[in-house]
């Protein structure tokens, strides 16, 4: 397989539909329309590779979810007195 230089105009990648190619020098870019209606210009290779999946709204969605996965389970810090009553009795004796 060669480099991804196919015509991707009109194709949909995740939330982005490619409207047209925009050539800006060495890095080809494409103008895409996101499912949310926003238009963004992104790197073509990122769209093809799936690095860019939306105008940014997808990432925002994603960031909300893995909150629980991100943090490892924290053990609640508890300060339990190991011996208190016993100690008291010892003192009395």
Residues that bind Zn ion (CB under 5 A): 34, 36, 38, 54-55, 57
Distance CA 85, CA 80 (A): 13
Closest CB to Zn ion among residues 17, 54: 54
52 contacts: CB under 8 Å, gap ≥ 6: 13, 16, 42, 43, 46
Closest CB to Zn ion among residues 30, 34: 34
Min dist CB 22 to Zn ion, Å, is 18
Min dist CB 26 to Zn ion, Å, is 27
């Amino acid at each position: 397989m060669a480099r991804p230089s196919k015509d991707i105009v009109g194709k949909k990648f995740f939330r982005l539909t490619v409207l047209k190619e925009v050539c800006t020098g060495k890095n080809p870019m494409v103008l895409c329309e996101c499912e949310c209606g926003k238009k963004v210009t992104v790197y073509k290779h990122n769209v093809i590779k799936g690095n860019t999946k939306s105008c940014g709204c997808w990432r925002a969605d994603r960031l909300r979810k893995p909150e629980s996965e991100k943090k490892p389970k924290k053990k609640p810090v508890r300060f339990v007195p190991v011996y208190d009553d016993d100690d008291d009795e010892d003192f009395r004796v």
